[in-house]
Structure 1
């Protein structure tokens, strides 16, 4: 019994020395207990706001117009990464494009009825948001030397 009393007294003393820290009642420790901001009728959204959709614009351009086309799409907002830490970002690789201008075509390079092979650059840029992507495509079409520029747009998943 004496031992039980001693142990009980020892445990109580240790508990007094090691008090847990309890957050202030006016400031909830866990976000799930926070009241929603705004009027009482509004509910908190269970999901954070979704980020702007991302698109990849890929285009093919003769070497003589690479910089002009890149600057045009960059001016439209393409090539910028979230939070503004990077801009004018792209990937480019060299390749050979081929086309056959048909009747009624007005080719910038080559002749109607003759297969043309041109050294071209493949350029890939990120577009944050649909409006940025549409504006970048429009600016690319204005700056590109071809009557029908080759480009592709891919919608990317936010993962």
Structure 2
């Protein structure tokens, strides 16, 4: 299994979660749509050539974002990450993938 964590603005958190759940993320045993999320503050600066969803080129932007974490089966991780990228409003979504051990 893998753990997937991603950061998304409040306006799109439910849409992105629906997409990753539809692709098979967030399944634990006999449960689905399993996730944990927390509200926080993100920061970035769009550079020349970027097309930011939020902010202006050359200006540091601080935004409210949700961090969402969920598990994904090995055979579904590529499809789930693709669903995340396709549904996310950011030009380059921030996400993390970690392999998990099953002891």
Equivalent residues in 2 for 1:53-64 (5 A)?
54-64=1-11
Q: Distance in 2 between matches of 1:81 and 1:128?
A: 9
Q: Greater Rg, structure 1 or structure 2?
A: 1
Alpha-carbon shift at residue 111 of structure 1 (Å): 0.5
Question: Could you say which structure has the greater relative contact order, defined with CA pairs below 8 angstroms and 6 or more residues apart?
Answer: 2
Other-structure match for 1:151: 95
More strand by share: 2
Q: Distance in 2 between matches of 1:63 and 1:118?
A: 10
Other-structure match for 1:140: 84
Q: Deviations over 1:12-58 (max 9, x none)?
A: xxxxxxxxxxxxxxxxxxxxxxxxxxxxxxxxxxxxxxxxxx00000
Structure 2 residue 33 is the aligned partner of structure 1 residue 88: yes
Normalised TM-score (structure 1):
0.64
Alpha-carbon shift at residue 81 of structure 1 (Å): 1.1
**RMSD of the alignment, in Å?**
0.6
Residue ranges of structure 2 left out of the alignment (5+ in a row): none
Residue ranges of structure 1 left out of the alignment (5+ in a row): 1-53
More helix by share: 1
